Protein backbone atom coordinates (compact mmCIF):
# COMPACT_ATOMS: atom_id res chain seq x y z
CA UNK A 1 0.00 0.00 0.00
CA UNK A 2 1.35 3.43 -0.92
CA UNK A 3 2.07 5.92 1.83
CA UNK A 4 -0.61 8.50 2.50
CA UNK A 5 0.17 11.85 0.87
CA UNK A 6 2.26 14.22 2.96
CA UNK A 7 0.15 16.96 4.57
CA UNK A 8 0.87 20.49 3.40
CA UNK A 9 -0.18 22.29 6.58
CA UNK A 10 0.59 22.22 10.27
CA UNK A 11 -1.90 20.28 12.36
CA UNK A 12 -3.80 21.94 13.82
CA UNK A 13 -3.40 25.04 11.70
CA UNK A 14 -2.30 28.26 13.39
CA UNK A 15 -5.21 30.60 14.01
CA UNK A 16 -4.94 34.37 13.46
CA UNK A 17 -7.59 36.96 14.31
CA UNK A 18 -7.25 40.72 13.94
CA UNK A 19 -9.11 42.09 16.97
CA UNK A 20 -8.06 45.76 17.11
CA UNK A 21 -6.69 48.20 14.56
CA UNK A 22 -6.34 51.83 13.54
CA UNK A 23 -8.97 53.31 11.28
CA UNK A 24 -7.80 53.91 7.71
CA UNK A 25 -4.13 52.95 8.28
CA UNK A 26 -3.08 53.61 4.67
CA UNK A 27 -4.61 57.08 4.57
CA UNK A 28 -3.19 57.81 8.02
CA UNK A 29 0.34 56.92 6.88
CA UNK A 30 0.16 59.36 3.98
CA UNK A 31 -1.45 62.04 6.16
CA UNK A 32 1.46 61.83 8.60
CA UNK A 33 3.92 62.15 5.73
CA UNK A 34 2.18 65.23 4.32
CA UNK A 35 1.93 66.83 7.77
CA UNK A 36 5.73 67.13 7.85
CA UNK A 37 5.50 69.64 4.99
CA UNK A 38 2.20 71.32 5.79
CA UNK A 39 1.46 74.48 7.82
CA UNK A 40 -1.50 72.60 9.34
CA UNK A 41 -2.17 69.00 10.31
CA UNK A 42 -3.25 66.87 7.37
CA UNK A 43 -5.89 64.25 8.22
CA UNK A 44 -6.68 60.85 6.75
CA UNK A 45 -9.90 62.32 5.38
CA UNK A 46 -7.93 65.06 3.60
CA UNK A 47 -5.78 62.63 1.61
CA UNK A 48 -8.80 60.64 0.39
CA UNK A 49 -11.19 63.55 -0.22
CA UNK A 50 -11.47 63.27 -4.01
CA UNK A 51 -9.88 61.64 -7.03
CA UNK A 52 -7.07 64.21 -7.25
CA UNK A 53 -6.26 63.82 -3.54
CA UNK A 54 -6.22 60.04 -3.84
CA UNK A 55 -3.88 60.17 -6.83
CA UNK A 56 -1.52 62.41 -4.86
CA UNK A 57 -1.87 60.08 -1.86
CA UNK A 58 -0.83 57.02 -3.87
CA UNK A 59 2.14 58.82 -5.43
CA UNK A 60 3.36 59.97 -2.01
CA UNK A 61 2.91 56.49 -0.52
CA UNK A 62 5.00 54.93 -3.29
CA UNK A 63 7.71 57.59 -3.09
CA UNK A 64 8.01 57.55 0.69
CA UNK A 65 8.17 53.75 0.81
CA UNK A 66 10.78 53.52 -1.93
CA UNK A 67 12.95 56.15 -0.19
CA UNK A 68 12.90 54.19 3.06
CA UNK A 69 11.03 56.83 5.08
CA UNK A 70 9.03 54.21 6.93
CA UNK A 71 8.18 55.91 10.22
CA UNK A 72 4.84 56.79 8.65
CA UNK A 73 3.98 53.09 8.78
CA UNK A 74 4.62 52.94 12.52
CA UNK A 75 1.58 54.97 13.55
CA UNK A 76 -0.98 52.31 12.68
CA UNK A 77 -0.94 49.31 15.01
CA UNK A 78 -2.62 45.94 14.68
CA UNK A 79 -3.55 43.66 17.56
CA UNK A 80 -3.79 39.98 16.70
CA UNK A 81 -4.96 36.99 18.70
CA UNK A 82 -2.78 34.02 17.77
CA UNK A 83 -3.67 30.44 18.68
CA UNK A 84 -2.12 27.06 17.88
CA UNK A 85 1.31 28.62 17.36
CA UNK A 86 4.45 26.92 18.63
CA UNK A 87 6.79 28.17 21.34
CA UNK A 88 9.62 27.71 18.86
CA UNK A 89 7.97 30.11 16.39
CA UNK A 90 7.34 32.68 19.12
CA UNK A 91 10.94 32.47 20.38
CA UNK A 92 12.61 32.49 16.97
CA UNK A 93 10.42 34.99 15.11
CA UNK A 94 7.78 36.94 17.01
CA UNK A 95 9.94 37.81 20.03
CA UNK A 96 13.35 38.00 18.38
CA UNK A 97 13.13 41.79 17.91
CA UNK A 98 12.04 44.73 20.12
CA UNK A 99 9.15 46.10 18.06
CA UNK A 100 6.12 44.28 19.44
CA UNK A 101 4.02 43.77 22.53
CA UNK A 102 2.72 40.36 23.58
CA UNK A 103 0.79 38.80 26.43
CA UNK A 104 0.88 35.02 26.17
CA UNK A 105 -0.22 32.02 28.19
CA UNK A 106 2.35 30.98 30.79
CA UNK A 107 3.51 27.39 31.14
CA UNK A 108 4.52 28.29 34.70
CA UNK A 109 0.93 28.86 35.77
CA UNK A 110 -1.26 27.00 33.26
CA UNK A 111 -1.16 23.22 32.98
CA UNK A 112 -0.35 22.04 29.45
CA UNK A 113 -2.81 19.60 27.86
CA UNK A 114 -1.30 16.63 25.98
CA UNK A 115 -2.84 17.56 22.63
CA UNK A 116 -1.36 21.08 22.60
CA UNK A 117 1.44 20.36 20.14
CA UNK A 118 2.16 21.65 16.65
CA UNK A 119 2.66 18.81 14.16
CA UNK A 120 4.49 19.89 11.00
CA UNK A 121 3.66 18.47 7.55
CA UNK A 122 5.40 15.08 7.50
CA UNK A 123 5.08 11.78 5.63
CA UNK A 124 3.06 9.15 7.48
CA UNK A 125 5.94 7.17 9.03
CA UNK A 126 7.75 10.29 10.21
CA UNK A 127 4.51 11.79 11.45
CA UNK A 128 3.84 8.69 13.55
CA UNK A 129 7.30 8.82 15.14
CA UNK A 130 6.97 12.57 15.72
CA UNK A 131 3.56 12.23 17.38
CA UNK A 132 4.67 9.29 19.54
CA UNK A 133 7.69 11.30 20.70
CA UNK A 134 5.58 14.34 21.53
CA UNK A 135 3.17 12.13 23.48
CA UNK A 136 6.07 10.61 25.43
CA UNK A 137 7.30 14.09 26.37
CA UNK A 138 3.82 15.04 27.52
CA UNK A 139 3.71 11.90 29.63
CA UNK A 140 7.09 12.73 31.18
CA UNK A 141 5.78 16.23 31.96
CA UNK A 142 2.83 14.78 33.85
CA UNK A 143 5.01 12.33 35.79
CA UNK A 144 7.58 14.99 36.68
CA UNK A 145 4.84 17.29 37.96
CA UNK A 146 3.67 14.48 40.24
CA UNK A 147 7.13 13.34 41.37
CA UNK A 148 8.43 16.85 42.03
CA UNK A 149 5.46 17.79 44.21
CA UNK A 150 6.80 16.26 47.48
CA UNK A 151 10.12 18.10 47.04
CA UNK A 152 8.30 21.37 46.41
CA UNK A 153 6.02 20.77 49.41
CA UNK A 154 9.05 20.25 51.65
CA UNK A 155 10.78 23.42 50.46
CA UNK A 156 7.55 25.43 50.60
CA UNK A 157 6.96 24.29 54.19
CA UNK A 158 10.48 25.37 55.09
CA UNK A 159 9.83 28.86 53.72
CA UNK A 160 6.34 29.17 55.20
CA UNK A 161 6.23 27.05 58.39
CA UNK A 162 2.76 28.32 59.32
CA UNK A 163 1.24 27.19 56.03
CA UNK A 164 0.24 23.62 55.16
CA UNK A 165 1.38 23.08 51.57
CA UNK A 166 -1.10 20.23 51.07
CA UNK A 167 -4.11 22.44 51.79
CA UNK A 168 -5.82 25.22 49.88
CA UNK A 169 -4.81 27.80 48.81
CA UNK A 170 -1.15 26.83 49.25
CA UNK A 171 -1.47 23.53 47.37
CA UNK A 172 -2.07 25.51 44.20
CA UNK A 173 1.24 27.34 44.61
CA UNK A 174 3.01 24.02 45.13
CA UNK A 175 1.39 22.50 42.05
CA UNK A 176 2.36 25.48 39.92
CA UNK A 177 5.97 25.32 41.03
CA UNK A 178 6.13 21.59 40.27
CA UNK A 179 4.73 22.06 36.76
CA UNK A 180 7.01 25.07 36.22
CA UNK A 181 9.97 22.72 36.57
CA UNK A 182 8.32 19.78 34.81
CA UNK A 183 7.77 21.95 31.74
CA UNK A 184 11.47 21.62 30.92
CA UNK A 185 10.67 18.35 29.09
CA UNK A 186 7.87 19.82 26.99
CA UNK A 187 8.76 20.16 23.29
CA UNK A 188 9.23 23.62 21.83
CA UNK A 189 6.42 22.56 19.48
CA UNK A 190 4.01 23.06 22.39
CA UNK A 191 1.22 25.46 21.53
CA UNK A 192 0.72 28.89 22.99
CA UNK A 193 -1.99 31.48 22.57
CA UNK A 194 -1.31 35.19 22.86
CA UNK A 195 -2.20 38.75 22.05
CA UNK A 196 0.43 40.14 19.70
CA UNK A 197 0.44 43.83 18.78
CA UNK A 198 2.71 45.30 16.11
CA UNK A 199 2.99 48.40 13.98
CA UNK A 200 2.35 48.44 10.27
CA UNK A 201 6.09 48.73 9.70
CA UNK A 202 6.79 45.57 11.67
CA UNK A 203 4.11 43.76 9.66
CA UNK A 204 5.93 44.76 6.46
CA UNK A 205 9.20 43.46 7.91
CA UNK A 206 7.52 40.22 8.99
CA UNK A 207 6.43 39.65 5.41
CA UNK A 208 9.88 40.32 3.97
CA UNK A 209 11.63 37.94 6.41
CA UNK A 210 8.95 35.30 6.97
CA UNK A 211 11.00 32.63 5.17
CA UNK A 212 14.10 33.04 7.36
CA UNK A 213 15.40 30.67 10.08
CA UNK A 214 14.25 28.91 12.31
CA UNK A 215 10.61 28.18 11.45
CA UNK A 216 9.96 29.40 7.88
CA UNK A 217 7.00 27.09 7.22
CA UNK A 218 5.08 28.22 10.28
CA UNK A 219 6.20 31.82 9.82
CA UNK A 220 4.83 31.93 6.27
CA UNK A 221 1.51 30.49 7.38
CA UNK A 222 1.02 32.90 10.28
CA UNK A 223 2.26 36.03 8.51
CA UNK A 224 0.10 35.28 5.47
CA UNK A 225 -2.96 35.14 7.73
CA UNK A 226 -1.94 38.39 9.45
CA UNK A 227 -1.66 40.15 6.11
CA UNK A 228 -4.94 38.77 4.82
CA UNK A 229 -6.66 40.02 7.99
CA UNK A 230 -5.26 43.52 7.41
CA UNK A 231 -6.07 43.35 3.70
CA UNK A 232 -9.71 42.75 4.59
CA UNK A 233 -9.96 46.12 6.36
CA UNK A 234 -7.53 48.17 4.20
CA UNK A 235 -6.17 46.48 1.06
CA UNK A 236 -4.05 49.48 0.08
CA UNK A 237 -1.98 49.23 3.27
CA UNK A 238 -0.47 45.90 2.22
CA UNK A 239 -0.42 46.57 -1.53
CA UNK A 240 3.26 47.58 -1.71
CA UNK A 241 4.68 44.87 0.53
CA UNK A 242 7.85 43.40 -0.90
CA UNK A 243 7.94 39.68 -1.64
CA UNK A 244 9.44 37.44 1.06
CA UNK A 245 13.19 36.99 0.82
CA UNK A 246 13.65 33.27 0.01
CA UNK A 247 15.38 31.29 2.74
CA UNK A 248 18.19 30.17 0.43
CA UNK A 249 18.96 33.81 -0.41
CA UNK A 250 19.48 34.84 3.21
CA UNK A 251 23.07 35.20 4.46
CA UNK A 252 22.27 32.99 7.45
CA UNK A 253 21.21 30.10 5.21
CA UNK A 254 24.25 30.42 2.98
CA UNK A 255 26.63 30.45 5.95
CA UNK A 256 24.76 27.57 7.61
CA UNK A 257 25.06 25.46 4.47
CA UNK A 258 28.75 26.34 4.15
CA UNK A 259 29.71 25.39 7.70
CA UNK A 260 27.15 22.76 8.69
CA UNK A 261 26.08 21.19 5.41
CA UNK A 262 28.31 18.11 5.59
CA UNK A 263 29.47 17.74 9.19
CA UNK A 264 28.55 18.31 12.82
CA UNK A 265 32.20 19.05 13.65
CA UNK A 266 31.78 22.87 13.65
CA UNK A 267 28.83 22.58 16.06
CA UNK A 268 30.75 20.28 18.40
CA UNK A 269 33.80 22.53 18.44
CA UNK A 270 31.71 25.68 18.88
CA UNK A 271 29.85 24.26 21.90
CA UNK A 272 33.11 23.17 23.52
CA UNK A 273 34.70 26.56 22.84
CA UNK A 274 31.72 28.57 24.11
CA UNK A 275 31.33 26.53 27.29
CA UNK A 276 35.06 26.81 27.99
CA UNK A 277 34.73 30.59 27.68
CA UNK A 278 31.87 30.60 30.20
CA UNK A 279 34.18 28.96 32.76
CA UNK A 280 31.26 27.59 34.77
CA UNK A 281 29.12 30.73 34.60
CA UNK A 282 25.52 30.87 33.48
CA UNK A 283 26.21 34.42 32.30
CA UNK A 284 29.73 35.80 31.97
CA UNK A 285 30.70 39.45 31.58
CA UNK A 286 32.81 39.60 28.42
CA UNK A 287 32.96 43.34 27.74
CA UNK A 288 32.22 46.70 29.35
CA UNK A 289 33.18 50.35 28.94
CA UNK A 290 36.50 50.94 30.65
CA UNK A 291 35.53 54.36 32.05
CA UNK A 292 31.87 53.64 32.68
CA UNK A 293 31.56 55.05 36.19
CA UNK A 294 33.48 58.22 35.31
CA UNK A 295 31.34 58.81 32.22
CA UNK A 296 28.17 58.19 34.24
CA UNK A 297 29.26 60.71 36.86
CA UNK A 298 30.13 63.32 34.24
CA UNK A 299 26.80 62.86 32.48
CA UNK A 300 25.00 63.51 35.79
CA UNK A 301 26.96 66.75 36.18
CA UNK A 302 26.08 67.70 32.61
CA UNK A 303 22.36 67.15 33.19
CA UNK A 304 22.48 69.21 36.39
CA UNK A 305 24.83 71.85 35.02
CA UNK A 306 27.42 71.68 37.82
CA UNK A 307 31.23 71.38 37.77
CA UNK A 308 33.22 68.51 39.22
CA UNK A 309 34.38 70.78 42.04
CA UNK A 310 30.75 70.97 43.21
CA UNK A 311 29.74 67.35 42.58
CA UNK A 312 32.25 64.50 42.92
CA UNK A 313 31.99 61.25 40.98
CA UNK A 314 30.89 59.39 44.11
CA UNK A 315 28.17 61.90 44.89
CA UNK A 316 26.96 62.03 41.29
CA UNK A 317 26.61 58.24 41.10
CA UNK A 318 24.90 58.20 44.49
CA UNK A 319 22.37 60.82 43.38
CA UNK A 320 21.26 58.82 40.37
CA UNK A 321 21.39 55.25 41.77
CA UNK A 322 20.64 55.54 45.49
CA UNK A 323 16.87 54.99 45.92
CA UNK A 324 17.00 57.07 49.10
CA UNK A 325 17.94 60.08 46.94
CA UNK A 326 16.27 59.12 43.67
CA UNK A 327 12.61 58.16 44.25
CA UNK A 328 12.15 57.25 40.58
CA UNK A 329 13.86 53.94 41.36
CA UNK A 330 11.16 52.79 43.78
CA UNK A 331 8.26 53.53 41.42
CA UNK A 332 6.23 50.59 40.14
CA UNK A 333 5.89 52.47 36.85
CA UNK A 334 9.33 52.40 35.22
CA UNK A 335 10.18 56.07 34.64
CA UNK A 336 13.93 55.84 34.06
CA UNK A 337 13.86 56.31 30.28
CA UNK A 338 11.70 59.42 30.64
CA UNK A 339 13.38 61.23 33.53
CA UNK A 340 16.37 63.43 32.72
CA UNK A 341 18.51 62.26 35.63
CA UNK A 342 18.14 58.53 35.05
CA UNK A 343 18.73 58.78 31.31
CA UNK A 344 22.39 59.20 32.27
CA UNK A 345 22.40 55.45 33.00
CA UNK A 346 22.33 54.77 29.26
CA UNK A 347 26.05 55.61 28.94
CA UNK A 348 27.31 52.52 30.76
CA UNK A 349 27.26 49.37 28.66
CA UNK A 350 27.85 45.66 29.32
CA UNK A 351 27.99 42.49 27.21
CA UNK A 352 27.49 38.96 28.55
CA UNK A 353 27.93 35.48 27.12
CA UNK A 354 25.02 33.35 28.31
CA UNK A 355 23.86 29.75 28.33
CA UNK A 356 20.31 29.18 29.52
CA UNK A 357 17.43 26.95 28.53
CA UNK A 358 15.06 27.68 25.66
CA UNK A 359 12.24 28.18 28.17
CA UNK A 360 14.27 30.60 30.29
CA UNK A 361 15.40 32.52 27.23
CA UNK A 362 11.81 32.79 26.06
CA UNK A 363 11.30 34.90 29.19
CA UNK A 364 14.69 36.60 29.09
CA UNK A 365 14.16 37.87 25.53
CA UNK A 366 11.03 39.71 26.66
CA UNK A 367 13.43 42.34 28.01
CA UNK A 368 13.51 43.86 24.56
CA UNK A 369 15.88 46.71 25.40
CA UNK A 370 18.67 44.32 26.43
CA UNK A 371 18.99 42.58 23.06
CA UNK A 372 20.65 39.25 22.46
CA UNK A 373 21.91 37.61 19.27
CA UNK A 374 20.10 34.28 19.45
CA UNK A 375 21.43 31.38 17.39
CA UNK A 376 20.25 29.42 14.41
CA UNK A 377 19.23 26.53 16.62
CA UNK A 378 20.11 23.81 14.11
CA UNK A 379 23.68 25.13 14.08
CA UNK A 380 23.99 24.14 17.75
CA UNK A 381 22.37 20.70 17.44
CA UNK A 382 24.59 17.61 17.64
CA UNK A 383 22.66 14.33 17.11
CA UNK A 384 24.46 12.19 19.69
CA UNK A 385 25.01 14.92 22.28
CA UNK A 386 22.01 15.76 24.50
CA UNK A 387 22.42 19.39 25.45
CA UNK A 388 20.05 20.61 28.15
CA UNK A 389 19.82 22.63 31.34
CA UNK A 390 18.79 20.62 34.41
CA UNK A 391 16.79 22.56 37.04
CA UNK A 392 17.95 22.34 40.65
CA UNK A 393 14.66 20.87 41.91
CA UNK A 394 15.03 17.97 39.50
CA UNK A 395 18.58 17.37 40.71
CA UNK A 396 17.22 17.30 44.28
CA UNK A 397 14.68 14.58 43.40
CA UNK A 398 16.40 11.28 42.41
CA UNK A 399 13.37 9.68 40.74
CA UNK A 400 12.67 12.84 38.76
CA UNK A 401 16.32 13.17 37.74
CA UNK A 402 16.41 9.59 36.45
CA UNK A 403 13.26 10.13 34.39
CA UNK A 404 14.52 13.48 33.12
CA UNK A 405 17.84 12.07 31.93
CA UNK A 406 16.20 9.02 30.33
CA UNK A 407 13.69 11.26 28.56
CA UNK A 408 16.35 13.58 27.18
CA UNK A 409 18.61 10.72 26.07
CA UNK A 410 15.75 8.99 24.29
CA UNK A 411 14.57 12.23 22.72
CA UNK A 412 17.90 12.96 21.05
CA UNK A 413 17.82 9.46 19.58
CA UNK A 414 14.32 9.97 18.19
CA UNK A 415 15.19 13.35 16.67
CA UNK A 416 18.21 11.74 15.03
CA UNK A 417 15.97 8.98 13.63
CA UNK A 418 13.71 11.61 12.09
CA UNK A 419 16.69 13.34 10.50
CA UNK A 420 17.92 10.01 9.14
CA UNK A 421 14.45 9.49 7.62
CA UNK A 422 14.98 12.68 5.63
CA UNK A 423 12.88 14.98 7.79
CA UNK A 424 14.01 18.60 7.52
CA UNK A 425 15.89 20.01 10.51
CA UNK A 426 13.23 22.70 10.76
CA UNK A 427 10.57 20.07 11.52
CA UNK A 428 12.61 17.56 13.54
CA UNK A 429 13.88 20.23 15.93
CA UNK A 430 10.34 21.16 16.96
CA UNK A 431 10.75 18.19 19.32
CA UNK A 432 13.66 19.75 21.17
CA UNK A 433 12.69 20.22 24.81
CA UNK A 434 12.20 23.51 26.60
CA UNK A 435 15.37 22.50 28.44
CA UNK A 436 17.60 22.67 25.36
CA UNK A 437 20.57 24.95 25.98
CA UNK A 438 20.63 28.26 24.12
CA UNK A 439 23.99 30.02 23.84
CA UNK A 440 24.21 33.67 22.84
CA UNK A 441 25.65 37.09 23.58
CA UNK A 442 23.49 39.77 25.18
CA UNK A 443 24.19 43.47 25.63
CA UNK A 444 22.54 46.35 27.37
CA UNK A 445 23.06 49.75 28.87
CA UNK A 446 22.77 50.31 32.60
CA UNK A 447 19.42 52.06 32.25
CA UNK A 448 17.73 48.97 30.82
CA UNK A 449 19.82 46.40 32.65
CA UNK A 450 18.94 48.14 35.92
CA UNK A 451 15.25 47.55 35.22
CA UNK A 452 15.87 43.95 34.18
CA UNK A 453 18.04 43.14 37.18
CA UNK A 454 15.55 44.72 39.58
CA UNK A 455 12.72 42.56 38.22
CA UNK A 456 14.71 39.36 37.83
CA UNK A 457 16.50 39.45 41.19
CA UNK A 458 13.09 39.09 42.82
CA UNK A 459 12.80 35.60 44.29
CA UNK A 460 9.53 35.08 42.40
CA UNK A 461 11.35 35.41 39.06
CA UNK A 462 12.07 32.34 36.97
CA UNK A 463 14.97 30.61 38.72
CA UNK A 464 17.35 30.42 35.75
CA UNK A 465 17.01 34.11 34.91
CA UNK A 466 17.30 34.98 38.61
CA UNK A 467 20.57 33.04 38.79
CA UNK A 468 21.93 34.66 35.64
CA UNK A 469 21.02 38.12 36.97
CA UNK A 470 22.72 37.38 40.29
CA UNK A 471 25.90 36.32 38.48
CA UNK A 472 25.81 39.42 36.30
CA UNK A 473 25.47 41.83 39.21
CA UNK A 474 28.24 40.06 41.13
CA UNK A 475 30.52 40.55 38.13
CA UNK A 476 29.47 44.19 37.75
CA UNK A 477 30.59 44.70 41.34
CA UNK A 478 34.16 43.90 40.28
CA UNK A 479 34.29 46.48 37.48
CA UNK A 480 31.81 49.12 38.72
CA UNK A 481 31.48 48.76 42.52
CA UNK A 482 29.92 52.20 43.01
CA UNK A 483 27.12 51.15 40.67
CA UNK A 484 26.67 47.58 41.89
CA UNK A 485 26.16 48.60 45.51
CA UNK A 486 22.72 49.95 44.56
CA UNK A 487 21.53 46.95 42.52
CA UNK A 488 19.04 44.50 44.01
CA UNK A 489 15.53 43.11 44.06
CA UNK A 490 12.50 45.46 44.07
CA UNK A 491 12.10 45.11 47.83
CA UNK A 492 15.73 46.17 48.33
CA UNK A 493 15.22 49.38 46.38
CA UNK A 494 11.88 50.10 48.02
CA UNK A 495 13.34 49.57 51.50
CA UNK A 496 16.17 51.97 50.71
CA UNK A 497 13.65 54.54 49.48
CA UNK A 498 11.39 54.07 52.51
CA UNK A 499 8.50 52.91 50.30
CA UNK A 500 6.05 50.54 51.99
CA UNK A 501 5.35 47.73 51.81
CA UNK A 502 8.90 46.76 50.95
CA UNK A 503 7.67 43.76 48.93
CA UNK A 504 5.29 44.89 46.15
CA UNK A 505 4.14 41.34 45.33
CA UNK A 506 1.33 41.07 47.89
CA UNK A 507 0.26 37.44 48.41
CA UNK A 508 3.05 36.37 46.04
CA UNK A 509 5.65 37.28 48.71
CA UNK A 510 8.53 34.80 48.45
CA UNK A 511 8.84 34.26 52.20
CA UNK A 512 12.39 35.65 52.45
CA UNK A 513 13.43 39.07 53.82
CA UNK A 514 15.51 39.71 50.72
CA UNK A 515 15.90 43.43 51.44
CA UNK A 516 18.13 42.53 54.39
CA UNK A 517 20.55 40.56 52.22
CA UNK A 518 23.46 41.52 50.00
CA UNK A 519 23.58 40.09 46.48
CA UNK A 520 26.26 37.64 47.62
CA UNK A 521 23.83 36.30 50.23
CA UNK A 522 21.01 35.67 47.74
CA UNK A 523 20.14 31.97 47.73
CA UNK A 524 16.99 30.09 46.75
CA UNK A 525 15.61 26.69 45.86
CA UNK A 526 12.04 27.51 44.82
Sketch the domain layout of the chain as residue ranges.
15-106+191-255, 290-347
The pLDDT, as a whole number, for residue 7 is 75
CB 454, CB 323: distance < 8 Å: no
**3-state helix vs strand vs coil in the chain, percent to 5:** 55, 10, 35
pLDDT bin (cut points 50, 70, 90) of residue 9 is confident
Q: Does 15-106+191-255 carry CATH code 3.30.1360.170?
A: yes
Give phi and psi for 321, each to the nearest 5: -110, -15
Q: How far is 334 from 348, CA to CA, in rounded Å?
A: 19
Beta strands in 365-454 (DSSP E): 372-373, 437-445
**Exposed, middle or buried by CB within 10 Å (0-12, 13-18, 19+), for 57?**
buried
For residues 333-340, average pLDDT: 97
pLDDT bin (cut points 50, 70, 90) of residue 114 is very high
pLDDT tens by residue, 211-260: 999 999 999 999 999 999 999 999 999 999 999 999 999 999 999 999 99
For residues 314-335, average pLDDT: 97
The yes-or-no verdict on residue 4 having pLDDT over 70 is: no
The percent of residues in the chain predicted with pLDDT above 90, rounded, is: 97
The pLDDT, as a whole number, for residue 253 is 98
For residues 119-146, average pLDDT: 98
The yes-or-no verdict on residue 196 having pLDDT over 50 is: yes
Q: How far is 88 from 433, CA to CA, in rounded Å?
A: 10
Return all residues near 332 (Cβ < 8 A) that are at least 6 apart: 504
The yes-or-no verdict on residue 1 having pLDDT over 80 is: no
pLDDT bin (cut points 50, 70, 90) of residue 3 is low
CA dist 10 to 14, 28, 189, 218, 490, Å?
7, 36, 11, 7, 43
DSSP state of 390: -
CA dist 14 to 217, 225, 438, Å?
11, 9, 25
Q: Give SS3 for 208.
A: helix
Query: Hey, how many other C-beta atoms are within 10 angstroms of the C-beta on 197?
Result: 17
Question: Dihedral through CA 110, CA 112, CA 116, CA 119, nearest 10?
Answer: 120
Amino acid sequence: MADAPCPTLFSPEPSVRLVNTFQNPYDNAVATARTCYSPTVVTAADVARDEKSRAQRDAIAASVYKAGHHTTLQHAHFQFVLENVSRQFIWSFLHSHPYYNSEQVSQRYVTVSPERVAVPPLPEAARTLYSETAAALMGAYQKLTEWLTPTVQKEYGRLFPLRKPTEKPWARSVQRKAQEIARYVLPVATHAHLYHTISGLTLHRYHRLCESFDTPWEQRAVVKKMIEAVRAIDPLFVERMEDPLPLDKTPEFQAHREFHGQSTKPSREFIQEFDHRLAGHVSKLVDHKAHGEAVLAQSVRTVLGVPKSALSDDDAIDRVLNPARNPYLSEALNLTAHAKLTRTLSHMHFTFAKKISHTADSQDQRHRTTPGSRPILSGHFVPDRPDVITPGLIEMTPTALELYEETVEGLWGRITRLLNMGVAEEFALYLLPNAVAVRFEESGDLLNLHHKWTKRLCYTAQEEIWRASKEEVEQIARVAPRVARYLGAPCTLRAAAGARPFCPEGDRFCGVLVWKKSIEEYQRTL
